[in-house]
Amino acid sequence: MISNQVRVLLIAGRSGVGKTTVSYEVSALLKQRDVAHALVDGDNLDEVYPVTQGSTLAEANLRAMWRNYRALDHHRLIYVNTVSVLEREMIVRALGEDADVQVTGVLLTASDKIARVRLTQREIGSALDVHLERSANASIHLTSTAPGWVHRVPTDGRSVREIAEEIVELSGWGDEDDA
């Protein structure tokens, strides 16, 4: 029987902060602890061109994916997206009106210097300047608008493993009684 309780871990942050890398490490830690979960990169849920303003494509795609995960009795979701902590209502709505959703939000932070270094290593195509500008703007926006319930987790000078361990601890998902 499938419970209607759903636990969601939102991981957000500017480009170059390490969201994807850290989310995969969080997933690896949870696998080591035998904690069932699904991992969704929200950036891919509405990656279309041309972009339609006001589109609900990401919500519709998340709803469809979550329906499939729930059919397999999953009740934990790691959702990674630059602004995921600002999209709480949309995410909760996509998980179903009958779901009892508990959300933990994490905003990964990095200095401009570190984000620049990371993006310069990653972006080898023609879009580096666009990513640098978008990252700086996202940092300002997220810092000023992320709600108080969101945990701020710095990434500068820390290993991916260390950051992931902190996030698992914040989520409470690694507890033996919770598995």
Task: Please tell me the distance from the alpha carbon of residue 154 to that of residue 115, in angstroms, as a whole number.
Answer: 12
Task: Please tell me the distance from the alpha carbon of residue 151 to that of residue 20, in angstroms, as a whole number.
Answer: 17
Could you give the angle at the alpha carbon of 33 between the alpha carbons of 175 and 179, nearest 5°? 45
Phi, psi of 41, rounded to the nearest 5 degrees? -90, 105
Residue extents of the structural domains in the chain: 5-178
Which residues of 57-130 form beta strands (DSSP E)?
76-80, 100-109
Residue 1: what pLDDT?
42
Query: Taking Cα atoms as reference points, which of 3, 4, 7 lies closest to residue 178?
Result: 7
Q: Residue 69 is which amino acid?
A: Y
Neighbours of 108 (CB within 10 A): 24
38, 159 Cβ separation under 8 angstroms? no
Q: Across the 179 residues of the chain, what is the mean pLDDT of every consecutive 10-residue run?
A: 82 96 98 96 89 83 96 96 96 91 97 93 84 93 97 97 97 69
Task: Please tell me the distance from the alpha carbon of residue 26 to that of residue 162, in angstroms, as a whole number.
Answer: 10
Q: Residue 93 is which amino acid?
A: R
pTM (2 d.p.): 0.92
Residue 104: what pLDDT?
98
3-state secondary structure at position 48 = coil
Task: Please tell me the distance from the alpha carbon of residue 117 to that of residue 108, in angstroms, as a whole number.
Answer: 16
Residue 179: what pLDDT?
47
Q: Which two tokens stand for residue 38?
A: 């699904």
Class of domain 5-178: alpha beta
